[in-house]
């Protein structure tokens, strides 16, 4: 399938900006890259939807308090006990925060009628691997233990995230399973599953589609301490030995994304292990399209799809 026309406009604008000398993410300090990323999301993200309730809270982590943004959907009251999705933002473990993905979390909450906890995990290089893993799982474990009295159901916890956040979702699902307190669903948006990056899609889409090979090299250099970290399943979850008891999954990829083959490989491994999986590739899309709902119509369709599949997973618990 050809590139979506709305996506092509974005790619053309990015190519023009680069030709005119606009600085690229891998050419600046991580702190400056974060501001560049935040600015770029503002240009392509729609106005945030109203929700019934939103608040910034804090959860105890191994290295201090972890900022978390808590959303409840429109039409709910403060006494309704809701299912909860714990969302991990993308950004190569280096950029991204609660604000860059605020619109996505609001849409998910409203579309799916569940609460959302968005996690502002520590970023590299100030906090190297596995700091992000530790922070994300601390929030998952906290939710599974009752979330300190928040009006959420600890037996109806799902994980979700895009790109690096998808990776963290898989890892947290495995860690929860290993502790005997599994989450009920994993909703993954173009996750990175193999730090070795040997698939054909990395060769085919490593240049000209926003997420470049150079950028990925830079992200990995910031996040990992050594090449051997790539062999740790908490960095490359495709290396998890046994996936047979993992929670059901919805896995969304983008057709012109260097990571598309990694997402499909993980979906195939889950299926082979007997785990229920729904796999969807948005063929005309690129990496990071999930935050571009202001300029890409398919983004809003995709977010609704994710929310519906998560809601269906929660609803299926009532039928058991």
User: What pLDDT was estimated at residue 23?
Assistant: 87
Paired tokens of 79: 């006494």
Given a cut of 90, whether residue 274 has pLDDT beyond it is: yes
Average pLDDT over residues 88-107: 98
Residue 35: count of CB within 10 angstroms of its CB: 12
Whether the per-residue pLDDT at 43 is higher than 90: the answer is no
Q: Which domains does the chain show, CATH number per domain? A: 5-317 (3.40.50.1820)
Q: For tokens 């909860």, name the residue.
A: 84
For residue range 145-166, list pLDDT tens digits in order. 999 999 999 999 999 999 999 9
Of the candidate ranges 23-32, 44-53, 160-169, 242-251, the one whose mean pLDDT is the lowest: 23-32
Q: Each residue of 285-304: pLDDT tens digit?
A: 999 999 999 999 999 999 99
Catalytic residue among 160, 163, 201, 236: 163
* pLDDT for the residue numbered 226: 97
Q: Does position 320 have pLDDT exceeding 70, yes or no?
A: no
Which residues, 6+ apart, have CB-to-CB distance to 44 below 8 Å? 10, 291, 292, 293, 294, 295, 296
Say what the pLDDT of residue 11 is: 97
pLDDT for residue 300: 97
Count CB-CB contacts under 10 A for residue 43. 11
What confidence tens digit (pLDDT) does each residue in 102-149 have? Answer: 999 999 999 999 999 999 999 999 999 999 999 999 999 999 999 999
Whole-number Cα distances in Å, 198 to 91, 140, 195, 270: 20, 31, 9, 20
- Of the pLDDT bands very low, low, confident and very high (cuts 50, 70, 90), residue 309 is very high
Going by C-alpha positions, the residue among 308, 312, 195, 298 that lies closest to residue 255 is 298
The percent of residues above 90 in pLDDT, for the chain, comes to: 95
Q: Is 277 helix (H, G, I), strand (E, B) or coil?
A: strand
The SS3 call for residue 152 is strand
Nearest Cα residue to 105 out of 87, 80, 78: 87
Q: Is the peptide bond before 125 cis (omega within 30 degrees of 0)?
A: yes
Question: What pLDDT sits at residue 41?
Answer: 86
Mean of the per-residue pLDDT values of the chain: 97
Residue-wise DSSP of 56-88:
EEEEEETTEEEEEEEEE-TT--TT--EEEEEEE
pLDDT the model gives residue 294? 97
Cis peptide before 72 (omega within 30 of 0): no
**pLDDT reading at 217 higher than 90:** yes
Task: Mark whether 196 is an active-site residue.
Answer: no
Q: What is the tens place of the pLDDT at every residue in 56-87?
A: 999 999 999 999 999 999 999 988 999 999 99
Take residue 248 and report the two structure tokens written for it: 């059901």
CA distance 187 to 45: 21
Residue 50: its pLDDT value, please?
A: 98
Task: Please give the radius of gyration of the chain, using alpha carbons only, rounded to the nearest integer.
Answer: 18
Would you say 225 and 131 are in contact if contact means Cβ atoms under 8 Å apart?
no
Annotated catalytic, 257?
A: yes
Instruction: Tell me which of 202, 220, 282, 287 is the catalytic residue.
Output: 287
Residue 35 has pLDDT above 80, yes or no: yes
pLDDT digits (tens, 9 = 90+) for 167-204: 999 999 999 999 999 999 999 999 999 999 999 999 99
pLDDT computed for residue 115 by the predictor: 98
- The β-bridge relationship of strands 249-254 and 152-162 is unpaired
In terms of pTM, does the model score above 0.85? yes
Of the residues 257, 261, 282, 309, only one is catalytic, namely: 257
**Do 139 and 117 contact (CB within 8 A), yes or no?**
yes
Let me know if 241 is a catalytic residue. Answer: no
pLDDT at 319 over 70: no
Model pLDDT, residue 2: 96
Cβ contact 183:247 at 8 Å: yes
- pLDDT at position 280: 98
Name the 3-class secondary structure at 250.
strand
For Cα atoms 192, 54, 115, give the angle at the middle one, nearest 5 degrees: 60
Quick one: 1 exposed, middle or buried, by C-beta within 10 A (0-12, 13-18, 19+)? exposed
């Amino acid at each position: 399938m050809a590139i979506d026309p709305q996506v092509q406009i974005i790619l053309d604008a990015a190519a023009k900006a680069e030709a005119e000398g606009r600085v690229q993410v891998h050419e600046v300090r991580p702190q400056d890259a974060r501001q560049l990323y935040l600015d770029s999301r503002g240009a392509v993200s729609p106005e945030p939807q109203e929700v019934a309730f939103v608040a910034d809270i804090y959860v105890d982590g191994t290295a201090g308090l972890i900022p978390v943004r808590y959303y409840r959907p429109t039409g709910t009251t403060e006494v309704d006990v809701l299912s909860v999705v714990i969302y991990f933002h993308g950004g190569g473990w280096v950029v991204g925060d609660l604000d860059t993905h605020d619109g996505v979390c609001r849409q998910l909450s409203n579309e799916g009628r569940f609460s959302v906890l968005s996690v502002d995990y520590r970023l590299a290089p100030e906090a190297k691997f596995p700091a992000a893993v530790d922070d994300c799982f601390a929030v998952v474990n906290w939710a599974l233990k009752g979330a300190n009295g928040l009006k959420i159901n600890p037996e109806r916890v799902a994980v979700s995230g895009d790109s690096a956040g998808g990776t963290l979702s898989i890892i947290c699902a495995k860690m929860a399973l290993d502790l005997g307190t599994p989450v009920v669903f994993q909703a993954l948006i173009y996750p990175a599953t193999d730090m070795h990056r040997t698939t054909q899609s990395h060769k085919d889409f490593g240049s000209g589609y926003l997420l470049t090979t150079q950028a990925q090299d830079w992200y990995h250099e910031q996040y990992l301490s050594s090449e051997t970290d790539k062999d740790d399943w908490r960095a490359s979850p495709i290396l998890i030995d046994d996936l047979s008891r993992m929670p059901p999954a919805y896995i969304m990829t983008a057709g012109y994304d260097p990571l598309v083959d990694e997402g499909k490989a993980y979906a195939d491994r889950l299926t082979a292990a007997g785990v229920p999986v729904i796999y969807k590739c948005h063929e005309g899309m690129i990496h990071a399209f999930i935050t571009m709902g202001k300029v890409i119509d398919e983004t809003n369709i995709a977010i609704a799809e994710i929310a519906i599949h998560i809601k269906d997973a929660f609803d299926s618990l009532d039928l058991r």
